[in-house]
Structure 1
Amino acid sequence: MRACFSFIGVFILLLITGCNKDGLSLNRPNDTPGNIAAVATFNLIPGSTSVVGRLGAASLYTLTGSFDFGRYAAYKNFLPGTNKLEVESFFDNKERKQLVQNISLTAGRAYSLFLYEDKEVGSLLTEDNIILPREGYAKVRFVHMGKSLSPLSLYIGNEDKPLFANIAFKGVSDFKEISTHNTGPLEFKAASGSNTVLLTIEPQNLISREIYSVLVIGDLESNLPNEKLQAKIVIHSR
């Protein structure tokens, strides 16, 4: 039952999530117990209708419905150490693609696992700085998984200076704190210096002390709804 303890208290976590045979499914990254690692998973494989996977002896995620392209699975606890990652992705044309590799986790740390495709299905594991931001601020990072797309910079509204600059394909920025009063649209431009806005996310009402990932996903060379280039924002506590 040690896996059922957390930094915010066992009773709150039991009420929200409970325990199961695969460990404790976390709703907030700061609930990570000190003797376990937490992993959030992003399915960024264009065209995939579902992904199933295991990390060590446990299911990779706990979700209702299919884990299709663009979906996010919130932090879930796993045993630290070297774990075997096994992933199988499914597509409308009945094709299946598999990924098998080992990943290493450290106790007391939180991670994001990004599943993507670049000729073959691959994964990128990042360690997440999940310390909550100050009151009146949100924490944001930029994830570039736009296949066939050059490096990008992310701007807020009409700011001259990018919030994140020159992020290449398969690049993940560090988190930055921004004021929740920054309500302009999020604009993605080529890092080469062009003023052309390639993608836009409408103005967001950022929540104080929340953590976000802003993502560019899909394939520049496809117009299919479940493959095309798009931008989205993910709230880590949901």
Structure 2
Amino acid sequence: MEISNKLKNIGKGFVAIVAISVALSACSKRNDQPSIIAAGVSFINASPTVKEFDIYIGRDQLMADAFKYGIKSVYVALYPGTTTLRITERGKPTLLLTKDQTYQSGKRYSTFLIDTGANRSFLTVVDKLDSPATDTKAKVRFLNLSPDAPALSLAVTGAAAPLFTNKLFKESTSFTDVEPGDNVSFDLKEADVVKATLAAGKLEKGKFYTIYAKGYKGKSDGDLLKFGANIFVAQ
């Protein structure tokens, strides 16, 4: 399986946001006041379209390169509170989507761009990445982000029972334990019938993996936007 973790160059304006947060924290320490702990947010484009976008946090562009389908950023530090997320078509000023999103201090989040056209939206989930150092399992969660798919289940290939069952579009799960291994694959199922398989890859103990259903069922094989699954590791 291919683990997608792509963060292109962060715009200078966004770097300034992080720098301001760090400066405020340092200033607070000098004045014997509590430091400000940032929120950590990863942004993922799961919107099944060939269009390319620019994504903005407030007025600042997240990355210099296009926010393409399948792209995922590493965690970026944001000042806690409510910020405005914006999407434009690549290189154009017209807003396609805007949302005021609240992120809490000290928490990590994944914010997905999902669906297309008038239904395009942001979906944010909290990333609870708590695991003892002695844990011997990998952690996996699942989201159904395929706009035209019915309820889906996720199973380790060959397992007797699924990990998660009957998740509708936009629904997500908590992380659950999975045996680590060098060649672990996963099946997306509808009513116990395999509809797509995520190619085998390595799962490491103590790491947190997100698998999401993507694309359209109506697309043919070879189409970039066809139904399938993607996986990434939290970092």
Asked if TM exceeds 0.5, the reply is yes
Query: Which secondary structure does the structure 2 equivalent of 1:21 belong to?
Result: helix
1:49–1:66: 8 Å Cα contact kept in structure 2?
Answer: no
**AA matched with 2:177:** E
| Counterpart residue number, 1:54 | 56
Q: In the alignment, is the contact (CA less than 8 A) between 1:37 and 1:78 conserved in 2?
A: yes
**1:138 alignment partner AA:** A
1:150 aligns with 2:150: yes
**Percent of counterpart pairs with the same letter?**
23
Q: Which among 203, 210, 213 is matched to residue 210 of structure 2? A: 213
Letter in 1 for 2:212: L
Shift of 1:57: 4.3
Which deviates further from its counterpart, 108-117 or 227-236? 227-236
RMSD after superposition: 2.6
Name the CA distance, whole Å, in 1 between partners of 2:141 and 2:214: 14
For residues 157-211 of structure 1, give each alpha carbon's deviation from its aligned partner in whole angstroms, at most 9, with x where no partner exists. Answer: 2222110111111111111122214844201111xx3x32100012221122211
Contact 2:55 2:63 in 1 (8 A): no
1:165 aligned residue: 165
Shift of 1:34: 6.1
Segments of 4+ moved more than 6 angstroms: none
1:96-107 pair list within 5 angstroms? 98-107=96-105
How do 1:1-238 and structure 2 match up within 5 A? 20-23=15-18, 35-59=37-61, 61-62=62-63, 65-90=65-90, 98-117=96-115, 119-132=118-131, 134-181=134-181, 183-190=183-190, 193=191, 195-223=192-220, 225-237=223-235
Q: Which residue number in structure 1 is paired with residue 5 of structure 2?
A: none
Bigger fraction of residues in strand: 1
* Distance in 1 between residues matched to 2:90 and 2:114, nearest whole Å: 13
Give 1:135 deviation, angstroms: 3.7
Counting matched residue pairs gives 203
The AA in structure 2 aligned to 1:106 is Q
Listed one character per residue, the Cα deviations across residues 44-84 of structure 1 (whole Å, up to 9, x for unaligned) are 1111442212223443x347x43211111111011111111
Evaluate the alpha carbon distance shift between residue 208 and residue 62 of structure 1 in structure 2; reply closer, same or farther with a 3 A threshold. farther
Cα deviation, 1:12-40, whole Å, max 9, x if unaligned, reads xxxxxxx932317xxxxxxxx96111111
Contact kept, 8 Å, 2:66 with 2:90, in 1: the verdict is no
**In 2: Cα distance, 1:111 partner to 1:163 partner:** 22
Assess, with a 3 A threshold, how the Cα gap between structure 1 residues 97 and 72 changes in structure 2: closer, same or farther. Answer: same
- Cα deviation, residue 142, structure 1: 0.6
- Cα distance in 2 for partners of 1:163, 1:97 equals 39
**What CA distance in whole angstroms lies between the structure 2 residues aligned with 1:122 and 1:40?**
16
Amino acid in the other structure paired with 2:225: E
Q: Deviations over 1:73-110 (max 9, x none)?
A: 1110111111111112459xx9x871112111111111
Q: TM-score, length-normalised on structure 1?
A: 0.76
3-state secondary structure, aligned to 1:20 = helix
The one-letter code sitting in structure 2 at the alignment partner of 1:127 is V
Alpha-carbon spacing, 1:34–1:218, altered in 2? closer, same or farther (3 Å): farther
Give the equivalent residue in structure 2 for 1:4: none
